[in-house]
Amino acid sequence: MKVKKILVMLFLTLLLPISGCAGLEATGHEYLMRGQILEMKDDVAYLCIGSKDGAQVGQEYSVYKFDRVISHPKVNISRFKKAKTGTIRVTGIVDEHMATAQILKGHAKENYVVELNP
């Protein structure tokens, strides 16, 4: 009987953190929505953020690039420095996974990361 109680407690202990993670995706998108620029075509950015992620026309995003920084020449460990390159505004929702945006200031390139402005 004691073993059964211990197994149930162990199961519940493991289950609670996992179920809590299910809501983190929605929370992350509500407070810190991030995506990637998939393509730049005629000054239009195609973003990997869509209606399913909560993207809306008119939202402004900061654009960032990540530059590799070598921490020590003898150690082969890469670190990256985040640098803001510009600002974009969502101009259209393509589908649940993609949106279009225009550059408001600075510059943007494919594979740069965009982050919703607070």
Distances (CA, A) of 38 to 30, 46, 69, 79, 118: 22, 6, 24, 23, 23
pLDDT tens per residue, range 37-52: 999 998 899 999 999 9
Please tell me the predicted confidence (pLDDT) of residue 19: 41
Please tell me the predicted confidence (pLDDT) of residue 111: 94
Domains of the chain: residue spans and CATH: 1-31 (no CATH), 33-116 (2.40.10.410)
Yes or no: say if 45 and 98 are a contact pair by the CB < 8 Å rule: no
Q: What is the rounded average pLDDT for all residues in the chain? A: 80
pLDDT tens per residue, range 58-95: 999 999 999 888 776 677 777 889 999 999 999 999 99
CA atoms within a 13 Å half-sphere pointing along the CA-CB vector of 40: 13
